[in-house]
Amino acid sequence: MGDSVAGIYLPRRAAKLARPLVAWRVPAGFPSPAQDEIEGRIDLNRDLIKHPLATFYVRVEGDSMEPRIHAGALLVVDRMAETKDGDVVIARVGSEFMVKRLCIEADGSVWLLSENPAYAPVQVTEGLGFEVWGKVMYSIHRH
């Protein structure tokens, strides 16, 4: 029974990639005028990820969202964020996942759109097994 839970990973929010917001040289004898202004460093984990418990990462493999999302990009996906017309989402359609732009028409019909014109829009109809898996908050692309 000993090893039944081999790995429990706490979300690590304290990434050490940080820069001071305000950096000052302190003139000897005088208190720094900036001292009261320092508010802690930028921490992308803290500032970009609003809901760590519901945030997942996804790697994009295709080019259907070019030029908005490049193949190979790492997506930050939030399952807690509300989704609305125009959002980029991870959608489940039947047994498949896709990255698409959500389009909700005035008449209530729902479409999944690709940015790349080579891919046709998909209309969401009943019985398709459609579900918004999560909202794409950011895409990280290495240059």
Rule CB under 8 A: which residues touch another protein?
A: 1-12, 51-54, 56-62, 64, 74, 79-80, 90, 92, 94-99, 129, 133
134 alpha-carbon distance from chain centroid: 9
What one-character DSSP code corresponds to residue 6?
Answer: -
Just list the catalytic residues: 64, 100
Burial grade of 75 (CB within 10 A; 0-12, 13-18, 19 or more): buried
Query: Closest CB to another protein among 24 and 84?
Result: 84
> Are the C-beta atoms of 102 and 134 separated by less than 8 Å?
no
Q: Determine contact, residues 22/34, Cβ cutoff 8 Å.
A: yes
